[in-house]
Amino acid sequence: MSSNAHCTVTSLDLSCNFIEDRGINPLSNTMAKLSKGMHHLNLSYCSLTGKGVGNLMQSLTTNRSCATTLTYLNLCGNSMREDSCCHNLCTFLAQPNVVSILDISSTDTPLDMLFGALLRGCTTALTHLNLSRNPFSYQTKKSKEGKDNIPSAFKQFFASTLALQYINVSYCKLPAEALKNLLLGLACNEALKNVELNL
């Protein structure tokens, strides 16, 4: 792929393979150069760490075509706890993009860091969002009133998204205030109809 200047691969499913970071890093370099971008990318359960996923997300951000072509991104079951990984994932998602299906379930990604990026880049096309089995935050701080401090972007995303049909936040141990904000955001969003919510 890297040596083929006319490579037209736009869909790649390597799920459930023991790729690890040593396998994803050369692939990331290739992703940055694909002239037609990528439409479908499934790397679920590939034994990746946050460093490897971070390099991949940086490559997708570098390749400007991916922001207008990538509609399916599945990173489920990889370990993405590192700050650099979260930063690079958020950088990609924060730019205007066409990701319709996003699955980062079981990746140990702190969700409170994610919603600012989702609000900036993912309110138009995103239809399916699977965040299950991730912590809401590693450190939930309390306000002066004793309530959990929930980022304003969390509620704003659900109030602003235009196409969302499916949300999975099961096994995320959402603070009560976060759940309240999620439901209030959906309740005031007139663009959404019949959203399936999995708690």
Q: How far apart are CA 184 and CA 85, in angstroms?
A: 30
pLDDT per residue as tens digits for the range 124-169 = 999 999 999 999 885 555 544 446 678 899 999 999 999 999 999 9
Cβ contact 133:108 at 8 Å: no
Strands in 101-103's sheet, in edge-to-edge order, are 11-13, 40-42, 72-74, 101-103, 128-130, 166-168, 196-198
pLDDT per residue as tens digits for the range 77-93 = 999 988 888 899 999 99
Cβ contact 163:139 at 8 Å: no
Exposure string (b/e) for 159-184, b if CB count within 10 Å is 16 or more?
A: bbbeebeebbbeebebbebbeebbee
* DSSP bridge pairs for 198: 168
Q: What is the pTM of this model?
A: 0.93
**pLDDT of 97 strictly over 70:** yes
Amino acid 150: pLDDT: 87
Q: Which two tokens stand for residue 114?
A: 């994610």
Handedness of CA 82, 84, 87, 89 (dihedral sign): negative
Q: Strand, coil or helix: what is 93?
A: helix
pLDDT per residue as tens digits for the range 15-65 = 999 999 999 999 999 999 888 889 999 999 999 999 999 999 999 999 999
